[in-house]
Amino acid sequence: MMRGTPLSRRGALKLFSAAAAGAALTSCGLSSGSSVPLRVSPGSIQPVPELEGVPLTVGSKDFTEQIVLAYIAEFALSAAGADVRDLSNITGSASARNALKSEQIDVVWEYTGSSWISYNGKTDPIPDALAQYEAVRELDLEKNGITWFALSLNSDNTYALALNRENADRLGVNTLSDLKRLGQEKPEELTFCLESEFVSRNDGMPGVAETYGFQVDPGRVETLNTGTIYTATSTGRACNFGEVFTTDGRIRALDLKVLEDDKKFFPRYNLGVTVRTETMERYPQLEGVFKPISDRLNNEHLLALNAGVDVDGRDPADVARDWMVEQGFVTAPEV
């Protein structure tokens, strides 16, 4: 899944040119990274002797959630004693994946659905989250030399359709199955704000409509970028229903109602940590560092983290460190 908007989900370009950053791009297109922006001290994450001084570069894709997660990973590894470099905000999911495979980065949080569908070309997602994870883990290990670990079953950043509270009450809809009834009774109310990709993807609008048995009139579809969709859906003027991502902080900020995917159509996009297999074989202690964090992360935490950046305008590193401190994983050194 290619997700996001500028730092509100698709961040600014973080490929450093000599003119912009004083450092030439490598032949593969990425710089060697920068230092971790904030200092942390150990909390529940204690120094790990096997990781002491080990150089590890953390990468991410170019949208808010990924950038915050990258900083969370960097603070965790720093507390464990590693020599951490930051190469977050890589433009494009495929570029971030290739950076991992080509050893430009060592650690990246990934989504099970992204690997299954976007990287490995599987057209039929697996509805059960754990089964999807196991299938992705096996495939990436055998085919790509990438190891998954620290699965978060409670964080699933998948697609959804949402509407504002006034329209939800007026139309009486709570689930995607309700759209079939609405289409039969008031077809003129089935108006949608969607991304261009979602309009045509099998795991997007065509599949939703087929699974839930309603018709989509192309004349009642507005094709917009992600950020505009949230605004348009909240006002309800351009459309009643908008495509959203389930951990986007703007859902809460705009008080949008997310329709339940009661037939479990949308693919699972659970979080896990990915590294090259040789890295995991050399440093199996990484799992012990990340598993408590993955166990703690859920959609509520991600909504709050994303809102801290996209709604409150805070720096992703500050939001990430504050959360790590609040959860007790690290401590903030006194100035």
Mark whether 31 and 122 lie in a shared domain. yes
For the stretch 73-82, pLDDT in tens is 999 999 999 9
197 vs 53 pLDDT, higher one: 53
Mark whether 71 and 96 lie in a shared domain. yes
Q: Is 273 a domain residue?
A: yes
Cβ–Cβ under 8 Å, residues 154 and 269: no
Mark whether 153 and 163 lie in a shared domain. no
Residues of the chain with pLDDT > 70, as a percent, come to 90
DSSP 8-state class, residue 37: S
Mark whether 204 and 130 lie in a shared domain. no
32 band by pLDDT with thresholds 50, 70 and 90: low
Mark whether 98 and 243 lie in a shared domain. no
Task: Classify the C-alpha dihedral 230-236-238-240 as positive or negative.
Answer: positive
Report the CATH number at residue 25: 3.40.190.10
For the stretch 256-308, pLDDT in tens is 999 999 999 999 999 999 999 999 999 999 999 999 999 999 999 999 999 99
Q: Is 102 a domain residue?
A: yes
The DSSP H or E segment spanning 325 is helix 316-326
Cβ–Cβ under 8 Å, residues 148 and 272: yes
Mark whether 125 and 167 lie in a shared domain. no
Q: Is 6 a domain residue?
A: no
Mark whether 104 and 246 lie in a shared domain. no
The 3 state secondary structure assigned to 74-107 is: HHHHHHHCCEEEEECCCCCHHHHHHHHHCCCCCE
Report the CATH number at residue 209: 3.40.190.120
What does pTM read for this prediction?
A: 0.85
CA 313, 78, 68: angle at the middle one, nearest 5? 25
Calculate mean pLDDT across residues 2-20: 34
Cα separation, 3 vs 120, whole angstroms: 17
Q: Is 151 a domain residue?
A: yes
- Of the candidates 218, 238, 258, which is a domain's last residue? 258
For the stretch 43-93, pLDDT in tens is 999 999 999 999 999 999 999 999 999 999 999 999 999 999 999 999 989
The DSSP H or E segment spanning 286 is helix 286-296
202 lies in which domain range? Answer: 159-258
Q: Is 9 a domain residue?
A: no
- Of the candidates 258, 285, 307, which is a domain's last residue? 258
Nearest to 78 by CA among 321, 334, 273, 327: 321
Mark whether 141 and 169 lie in a shared domain. no
Q: Is 11 a domain residue?
A: no
- Of the candidates 224, 258, 292, which is a domain's last residue? 258
Mark whether 53 and 78 lie in a shared domain. yes
Mark whether 151 and 166 lie in a shared domain. no
Residue 261, CA distances (Å) to 73, 179, 265 in order:
31, 11, 7
Mark whether 131 and 164 lie in a shared domain. no
Count of domains forming the chain: 2
Q: Is 7 a domain residue?
A: no
Mark whether 204 and 243 lie in a shared domain. yes
